[in-house]
Structure 1
Amino acid sequence: MSWKWEYALGAEEAARSLPSGFLATVAHAADELVRAAEAVHVHGRDHEGLDPKGGHIIVTGGWFMYQIVVRSERVYIVQITYPGF
């Protein structure tokens, strides 16, 4: 398995109604999070203990909240906020 990012259920549904340009910005930031998580947690599947605290990232047009699940080698986007509507 290799590191990837994906939307959590609620965020995936919210993303369907957002502008593609904003979603591209979110995807770019999520890709950077994946690269950073992969560098820090080289042996992710062997991780023991708690996952790191999630956070939020401000991007052009809004922001999103994420959670890293090390043993799954995933960065989950759990909430997207786009105040442009």
Structure 2
Amino acid sequence: MSWAWECALGAEEAARTPPPAPPAFIAEVDHKAAELVRAAEAQYVHGRAPAELDPTGSDITVRGGMFIYRIVVRSERVNTLQTTYPGF
């Protein structure tokens, strides 16, 4: 398995989502999420001890909006939990 990022929205949440955000905003989120993946991969290169909890997520501001993420070490994933674009 290798590190990656994915959107962690469920089908119900995606169905309620307004029209998609502009491509420039999506590109900003993609770029920043890729940076988070590289950082997590470097920090957790040897995995984690069984007693450790996954690190706490946070929010990141990008041009045009923001997104909330969390890191799941055991799955080698950075999950975006919510993306906010004020133009919706």
- TM-score, normalisation: structure 1: 0.87
Query: In structure 1, what is the Cα distance between the partners aligned to 2:55 and 2:37?
Result: 13
3-state SS in 2 of match to 1:71: helix
CA contact (8 A) 2:5 2:34 kept: yes
Partner of 1:70: 73
In structure 2, how many angstroms separate the alpha carbons of the residues matched to 1:15 and 1:43?
A: 40
Residue of structure 2 equivalent to 1:56: 59
Aligned-residue identity in percent = 60
Shift of the alpha carbon at 1:61? 0.2
Whole-Å separation in 2 of the counterparts to 1:58 and 1:15: 20
2:25 maps to which residue? Answer: 22
What is the CA–CA distance in structure 2 between the aligned matches of 1:4 and 1:37, rounded to whole Å?
10
Gaps of 5+ in 1: none
Residues 15, 80 of structure 1: 8 Å contact kept: no
Residue 2 of structure 1: how far off its partner (Å): 0.4
The count of aligned residue pairs is: 83
Q: Considering only aligned residues, what root-mean-square deviation do their CA atoms show, in Å? A: 1.9
Structure 1 residue runs of 4 or more that deviate by more than 2 Å after TM superposition: 12-16
2-side partners of 1:71 and 1:36: how far apart? 15
- Residue 74 of structure 2 aligns to a residue in which SS? coil
Aligned to 1:2: 2
| C-alpha distance in 2 between matches for 1:40 and 1:83 | 32
Larger Rg: 2
TM-score by length of 2: 0.85
List runs of 5+ in structure 2 lacking aligned partners: none
Matched, 1:37 2:56: no
Residue 83 to residue 76, structure 1, CA distance change in 2 (3 Å): same
